[in-house]
Structure 1
Amino acid sequence: MKKMEMKYLKNIARQYPTIVSASTEIINLQSILNLPKGTEHFLTDVHGEYEQFLHVLKNGSGSVRRKIDDEFGKSLSFKDKKSLATLIYYPEEKLELILKEEENIGDWYKIALHRLIRVSKRVASKYTRSKVRKALPQEFAYVIEELITEKAEVENKEAYYNEIINTIIRIGRAQDFIIALSNLIQRLVVDHLHILGDIFDRGPGPHVILDTLMDYHSVDIQWGNHDILWMGAASGNLACIANVIRFSAKFGNLDMIEDGYGINLIPLASFAMDKYPQGSCDCFEIRYSDGYSAKDLEMEQRMHKAISVIQFKLEGQLIMRRPEFAMEGRLLLDKIDYEKGTVNIEGKEYKLKDCSFPTISRESPYELSPEEAKIMERLRTAFMKCEKLQRHVRFLFSKGSMYKIYNSNLLYHGCVPMNADGTFLKVRVFDQEYSGKALYDILEVYTRKGYYSIEEEERSKGQDIMWYIWSSDKSPVFGKEKMATFEKYLVDDKEIQYEKKDCYYELSDNEDIVNKILEEFGLDTNTSHIINGHVTVELKNGEMPIRCGGKLLMIDGGFSRAHQNKTGIAGYTLIYNSMGLRLVSHEHFESAEKAIVEETDIYSDVTVVEQAVKRLLVGDTDNGKEIKERIEELEELLYAYRTGLLIEADVL
């Protein structure tokens, strides 16, 4: 053997010092290869809608209900199946109601525990005992393992299991045990979770979603432009911070910044109330739900206008600082004619709906006023010192990326920028041009530099790149001709407000183009898929999420309530299990409370995208490839032991 091979085998020998230990691991790994492939769950564009997100996560996009149906068939009524599913999704809350309603709680406990144990056995059956054991709650690990594992040596199994259940009830641990089993089922029904971007903005609870994801057993994230915006804000980029606050103001979610992340917005509120008179902010309306008082609405509209003006200034400064971004067309403050009340955009003059901007200097329109500069510096410090936000952003960096290749699927949030002829668009990033996969890669490198680099210049470049990724027409995760924020607020003209999509979206029905993208990322065009978020599929207008015979799946169906009037549904999710790919479309989710009390689930329509010819096994996955490589290494180790190249450790 070569010197390097021997050195590597010696390292493996430290973990497997004998023929017996190496042989045992080979047998274990070989058996894992023949288990069914674990279930992957894909969600995208959740946009802070934490209640619906948590519910879909709990029910595994219908996976729990399917396991219940598989286990009980027609032996349980539809009502009982609904009740059992609700118990699994919300065990603590459902138990609280049951305790008030049930007269004979002991009998109810027995029935519920037996049913939960049967479902637990079914969801655990596709995993090794070792993996199941790691998922068990520590305080009940031994008992649950006894109940869900067949005991061939026990003669009277039914009496044995019944006695365990009776004892659990008798000693007052039934409630805790039901909660533990329910959580175990939720944990095992999905093996791995993919989030295809845009956790932040629009909805009220992105911080709740991130807290949940940080506790999730196995997850990856493909960054969306809204996520990268928040990552830029956390790194201290002022243009990103202004965008984050403006977006939260627009959707009535400033309390998320204040209460969710503890960032003080009082200085901004005071400034806005002082500078912008009552009734002068009608263009900056708030999209709010019930519960807003007229006073709160007036104040937040003023804050909305104040931060929007600050944003336009800061973005102008950044565009002038980075001429290589080629975004001069978005410099609009210097194109305002205050006497005529117009603005010149793309060579055409438009009437402004509002030109009362007391903080904009006509001589230096992109310069912050002293008060604005002071507010933004305070906000920069608050964002950079917010421990919870920094923890969430570090999690996004550790579990996230611009794209991911996983089990022959290419996952990304937006698009691969393209020209009209189907060639990859060349994009200049500082001093070099990139396209296709290389563009994704370099943007990720600079994004990480923007947060982590200790070199000031590289860190500054990376922070500005995060804003560029958020809003540039050449950004893979934005993918539109422009971000027409100014026009949508201040110009009453649909044509100039229109954000034309990248050519990718027109070409994505072309299988040759889809194959070209797959090849660019090194994937087999016969067995691979692209799974895509970002742009909502307007089902009610005839758009379809499945394209090119299932090779491309666009799964943003309007998880965000703000989009549901366009899509006609409340989101798509995707399930990829050992039987194939299933696209799930969801109806509107009202509330967790209704789901618990009325035992209503989200009605979901399932479309089989691809049915596996034979059941997919672990050996067919990326993890399976790694296991096969490990087996080969261990077999080489056995050869080394048996031929005397390596000597076993002391086995006595």
Structure 2
Amino acid sequence: MFITQELERELLQEKYPTREAVTTEIINLEAILNLPKSTEAFMSDIHGEFAAFDHILRNASGNITIKIQDLFNGKMTPKTQKQFAFLIYYPTERVRIIKNSFDDPDDLKQWYLDTFENLLDMLKYCATKYTRSKVRKAMAPEFVYITEELLYGDFSTEDKHKYYAQITDDIIGLKTADQFIIALCHTIQRLVVDHLHVVGDIYDRGPAPDKIMDRLMRHHSVDLQWGNHDILWLGGAAGSSLCVANLLRICARYNNLSIVEDAYGINLRHLSLLAEKYYQDNPGFAPKIMHEDRRPVGAELTQLTKIHQAIAIIQFKLEGQAIDRRPEFKMTKRKLLDKLSDDRQSITLDGKTYPIINGCFQTVDPKDPYTLLPEEQDVIDQLTQAFVNSEKLHKHMDFFMKKGSMYLTYNGNLLIHGCVPVNPKGEMEGLRLNGKLYKGKALFDLLEQNLRTSYFKSKNGDDLSTDLLWYLWTGPESPLFGKRAMTTFERYFIEDKATHVEVTNSYYKLRHEAWFIENILKEFGVDADTGHVINGHTPVKKGQSPILADGKMLVIDGGFARAYQKTTGIGGYTLLYNSYGLQLVTLQPFTTRANAIAQLSDIVSTKHVVEQELARKTVAETDIGTKLKRQVRQLQELLEDM
């Protein structure tokens, strides 16, 4: 809702009715402007790997370890520091383990007292960037009074020594010590990173994107940029059968159909019956196994392979229909079912004939290859309605819409998941709709507005706005895809790897050049001298640097998804931006939560300083600072009129 200056002034007068109230707020805001800038953390391409994601949130991309070293070097041994760090990461589990290691109640009491002191010191150290009010909001409500008394108390004062001692004794005596420690640890986790950015692709490949969404919905401060895989789930919830078919195929490919059935309550029985009727076991459609503990065997493996074939063929048929329906998408070359020979044993592409491998075209009519069988139509209609009506899915997707965007400019940086489509000269390319060419920022804005329109409208299924959701996933000028074509069909059915190549947009070559990134920053209204583009989507391969264009481009997809870790050799990147500058964090592959807790095995391996501030950046130099300075000016004007 647009608020006029007059209404804004009236609201201020109502909130601050006296000179004393106005002056107090001016003093408060101007003081906040001089605090150090708080820490932002950036992640991308999490791909359903909840355990690794949760660990990185808990250890704040290694930031907690650094603060422990700063505070306790010379007071704790490296081994004790690690034990203390994991207590902060996993307080519930570590408290239980540590308690069981004590036989003497007095030794346990001493551990409690020492731990209270160390955690309070750590909390005080982490709270220095914030007002008392903000720190209070981060505390567990049931322990606010106790925590503030101990946090801000003067333990050197003899008059209050017994007072503080009685508080800690009572915490232990009343058997709330465990809960108090857990609350302190969670408060520290919350304060070490003030704001989280997720630069796309929470969904697909890994087993638990729903748990990631649940975790993000509890997070105190977060924004999301939509990735191409996320769009499939947003599209499914919006009623796009094309998106539903694509995401179900990917779930089948990575043995993740349980996400659909168990997490979102969508019944796949009709799809399974269709698959059983028309398809046989086919090794080419056996799922990729990323988690050995979830490997299907026997009848389960055969059923999954059949479902994989059934939904893939439905997808290819639906895509052919959409390509005919939308000539403006310029994707005619991606219609391939009609290129099959009559016996379906070969296919002719660009004048060259290739033998078919792993063929499963039983439901494809050579004379009418893109028409669904009535059974197939019934199945995809039923599935699409199930996605539209899934309560839990819509809870997650509503959050995605509330916190998400196609791009974000934040504190002088541009966050985009994929690319800004350009030609080899670096000139921006785009999509022409209704006679108008949309490119650069205008293309992003158009596609975001379209997505919001499609998501919140009544579901029509094959209207332009819904088809554009699928285009975001696979279209040649999609900023989220970034390639000329998706060769899914060829990878399934043609052995010649030359047909598998997906040509990337020129953006990915040019993003190594500083001049090009400066042009991108200017296009989106970001200072080209001081800003950065923060990018996900494309895993950084072994031997490549994630820091490009003289430090102006930072690529933070380093392989959260296990599917990419053979290529990347690591477990991903995260990025930290605090008052001292930018730090890129390299992660090692995560094993399991149980192993991390039992073995105290962390995954942060190295930190690289990307850019160091000459002077610590303050709140005044951030986007929030700009808003606060505006509020100060308004309050000063109000004060003058009183």
Q: Structure 1 residue 156: deviation in Å?
A: 4.5
C-alpha offsets along residues 158-177 of structure 1, whole Å, 9 cap, x if unaligned? 54433321210111100110
**Post-superposition CA distance 1:84-103 (Å, at most 9, x none):** 11111111111221222222
Q: Shift in Å at residue 157 of structure 1?
A: 5.3
Query: Deviations for 1:479-519, whole angstroms, at most 9, x for unmatched residues?
Result: 01211110000011111101111000111111111110011
1:138 to 123, 138, 141: 141
For structure 2, the 5+ residue unaligned runs are none
Question: TM-score by structure 2 length?
Answer: 0.96
Counterparts in 2 of 1:596 and 1:129: CA distance versus 1, 3 Å = same
Matched, 1:516 2:519: yes
What's 1:649 paired with?
A: none
Match of 1:322 in 2: 326
Matches within 5 A, 1:450-461: 450-454=454-458, 460-461=463-464
Contact kept? 1:329, 1:346, Cα under 8 Å: no
Deviation at 1:152, TM superposition (A): 9.4
Partner residue, 1:399: 403
Code of the aligned partner of 1:254:
L
Q: CA deviation at 1:141?
A: 1.0
Kindly indicate whether residue 188 of structure 2 is the aligned counterpart of residue 220 of structure 1: no
Q: Distance in 2 between matches of 1:625 and 1:152?
A: 39
Q: Match of 1:361?
A: 365
- Residue in 1 aligned with 2:120? 117
Alignment: residue pair count: 633
Q: 2:62, 2:604 within 8 Å by CA — same for their partners in 1?
A: no
Q: Quote the residue 2:588 is aligned against.
A: 587
Asked if 1:342 is matched to 2:346, the reply is yes
Q: Are 2:239 and 2:460, in contact at CA under 8 Å, matched by a contact in 1?
A: no
- Out of 180, 184, 188, the residue aligned to residue 181 of structure 1 is 184
- Tell me the secondary structure at the aligned position of residue 344 of structure 1: strand
Deviation at 1:348? 2.6
Secondary structure of 1:125's aligned partner: helix
The answer on whether the counterparts of 1:102 and 1:108 sit within 8 Å (CA) in structure 2 is no
In 2, the alpha carbon distance for the partners of 1:250 and 1:429 equals 34
Where does residue 16 of structure 2 map in the other structure? 16
| Aligned CA distance change for structure 1 residues 553 and 428 (closer, same or farther; 3 Å) | same
Query: Secondary structure, in 3 states, of the residue corresponding to 1:477?
Result: coil
What is the alpha-carbon distance in structure 2 between the residues aligned to residue 526 and residue 157 of structure 1? 54
Whole-angstrom distance in 2 between the partners of 1:405 and 1:71: 34
**Matched position secondary structure for 1:397:** helix
In the alignment, the residues of structure 2 paired with residue 115 and residue 7 of structure 1 have an alpha-carbon distance, to the nearest angstrom, of: 49
- CA shift at 1:347, angstroms? 3.5
2:417 corresponds to 1:416: no
Deviation at 1:343, TM superposition (A): 1.3
Q: Which residue of 2 aligns with 1:468?
A: 471
Q: CA deviation at 1:155?
A: 4.8
The one-letter amino acid of 1:310's match is I
Structure 1 residues 50-59 or 149-158, which shifts more? 149-158
- Corresponding residue for residue 537 of structure 2: 534
Any conservation in 2 of the 1:446–1:461 contact (CA below 8 Å)? no
Match of 1:237 in 2: 240
Displacement of 1:54: 0.2
TM-aligned CA deviation for residue 629 of structure 1? 0.6
Structure 2 Cα separation of the partners of residues 390 and 427 of structure 1 = 29
Question: Structure 2: how far apart are the matches of 1:200 and 1:555?
Answer: 17
Residue in structure 2 matched with residue 494 of structure 1 by the alignment: 497
How many Å separate the matches in 2 of 1:117 and 1:378?
A: 55
Tell me what 2:611 maps to: 610
Distance 1:14 1:640 in 2: 14
* One-letter identity of the residue aligned with 1:15: K
> Does 1:564 pair with 2:565?
yes
Distance 1:268 1:432 in 2: 40
Whichever residue aligns with residue 118 of structure 2, its letter is R
Are residues 1:107 and 2:100 paired? no
Equivalent positions of 1:123-162 (< 5 A) are: 123-151=126-154, 155-156=158-159, 158-162=161-165
SS of 1:37's partner is: coil
Aligned twin of 1:78: 78
Whether the 8 Å CA contact 2:155–2:161 is kept in 1: the answer is no
| More off after superposition, 285-294 vs 413-422 | 285-294
Distance 1:509 1:440 in 2: 22
Which residue identity is paired with 2:263?
A: G
Within-5 A mapping of 1:198-277: 198-277=201-280
Decide whether the 8 Å contact of 2:559 with 2:565 is kept in 1. Answer: yes
Is the 1:88–1:186 contact (alpha carbons within 8 Å) kept by the matching residues of 2?
yes
Name the SS of the counterpart of 1:283 in structure 2.
Answer: helix
- Paired AA for residue 468 in structure 1: Y
Q: What secondary structure does 1:214 align onto? A: helix
From the superposition, tell whether residues 268 and 340 of structure 1 become closer, same or farther in structure 2 (CA, over 3 Å): closer
Q: Report the AA paired with residue 561 of structure 1.
A: R
Residue number in structure 1 paired with 2:433:
429
Letter in 1 for 2:73: G
Give SS of 2:81's match: helix
Pair 489,5 (structure 1): closer, same or farther in 2 beyond 3 Å: closer
Distance 1:286 1:152, change over 3 A: closer
Q: CA deviation at 1:151?
A: 4.8
Q: Is the 8 A contact 1:338 1:355 kept in 2?
A: no
Cα deviations by residue, 1:426-476 (Å, 9 ceiling, x for unpaired): 32134421111111000001111111135959x932211110000012100
C-alpha contact (below 8 Å) 1:119/1:185 kept by paired residues: yes
AA matched with 1:595: A
Q: In structure 2, what is the Cα distance between the partners aligned to 1:368 and 1:441?
A: 34
Give the 3-state SS of the residue equivalent to 1:337 in structure 2.
coil
2:92 corresponds in structure 1 to 92
Deviation by residue 1:505-558 (Cα, 9 ceiling, x = unmatched)? 1111111111100110111111111100001110x2x21100122111011001
What CA distance in whole angstroms lies between the structure 2 residues aligned with 1:84 and 1:247? 41
CA apart distance, 1:640: 0.9
| 1:40 corresponding residue in structure 2 | 40
- Whichever residue aligns with residue 85 of structure 1, its letter is A
1:61 match: secondary structure: helix
What code does the residue aligned with 2:575 have?
L
CA distance in 2, matches of 1:158, 1:210: 46
Distance 2:109 2:596 in 1: 25
Relative to structure 2, which stretch is displaced further, 576-585 or 597-606? Answer: 597-606
How far, CA to CA, are the matches of 1:381 and 1:173 in structure 2? 49
Structure 1 residue ranges without an equivalent (≥5): 642-652
SS of equivalent residue, structure 1 residue 383: helix
Aligned partner of 2:283 in structure 1 is: 282
Partner of 1:600: 601
CA distance in 1, matches of 2:110, 2:12: 54
Aligned residue for 1:583, secondary structure, equals strand
Does the CA contact (< 8 Å) of 1:36 and 1:617 recur in 2? yes
Q: Distance in 2 between matches of 1:437 and 1:418?
A: 12
Shift of 1:632: 0.4
Q: How far 1:324 sits from its partner (Å)?
A: 1.1
Deviations 1:47-103 (A, max 9, x none): 000000000011010011111112112210111111111111111111221222222
Q: Deviations over 1:598-629 (max 9, x none)?
A: 11111321000001111111111000011001
2:43–2:573 contact (8 Å) kept in structure 1: yes
| Distance (whole Å) between structure 2 residues aligned to residue 453 and residue 80 of structure 1 | 56
Q: Give the counterpart letter for 1:37 in structure 2.
A: K
Counterpart CA distance in 2 for 1:155 and 1:442 is 67
Q: What corresponds to 2:623 in structure 1?
A: 622
User: 1:516 and 1:609, CA in 2 relative to 1: closer, same or farther beyond 3 A?
Assistant: same
In structure 2, what is the equivalent of residue 51 of structure 1? 51
Q: What does residue 446 of structure 1 align with?
A: 450
